[in-house]
Structure formats: structure tokens, C-alpha cells
Amino acid sequence: MIKEQESGEKTADVCRRHGISSATFYKYKSKYGGMEPSDAKRLRALEDENGKLKKLLADQMLPSRAIATQYPAGQETTRCCETSTQKKW
């Protein structure tokens, strides 16, 4: 798509053929312009992997964040065996 435009074809014609806006075309051009197709595929694969890793990290952090919210640092917690009906000597 970018090569079509760089070869002299009008941007509007390229965008119309591919069904995208000119803003999207220029966004792609700024991101992928000057790259070989193999480089663009590698970039896309790395972005996908990064997204998956971020999701895994978020899934791992969720339980510990819930615990931290339930038991904030510095606050005293009651022991599990203490109840309010126990006699205090």
C-alpha cells in the first residue's frame, strides 16, 4: 500500500482501493514507512507478543492487588481464632 503511493499513485486512490481513510494511511506510513515487509511482520509479531505478556502480567497481579486492597499495609488485623465473645483476662 505504501509502495503504491510512493510509486506515484495518488494517496486518495490508494486509500479508496484499500478502504481506509487518508489519516489511517499516513499513520501506517509513519509507523511502517521505510521497512521491508519482513520487518513489518516482525514488528507486528512483537507487538502481539507484548500484548499477551501484558495480559498475563495483569492476570498475575490481580490476586495480589485484591489481597493488598483487602489488607492494607500498616493496619492491624485480627487473628482468625479471636472472637468478640472471648473473655479477656
Does residue 50 contact residue 33 with C-beta atoms inside 8 Å?
no
In a domain, 82, yes or no: no
| CA dist., res. 45 & res. 75, Å (int) | 45
* pLDDT band (50, 70, 90) for residue 47: very high
Task: Please give, one letter per residue, the 3-state secondary structure of 1-38.
Answer: CHHHHHCCCCHHHHHHHHCCCHHHHHHHHHHHCCCCHH
Could you tell me the residue range of the domain that residue 58 belongs to?
36-65
**Beta carbons of 14 and 3 less than 8 angstroms apart:** no
How many structural domains compose the chain? 2
> Is residue 45 domain-shared with residue 29, that is, in the same domain?
no
The pLDDT confidence band at residue 87, using thresholds 50, 70 and 90, is low
Question: What is the reported pTM?
Answer: 0.48
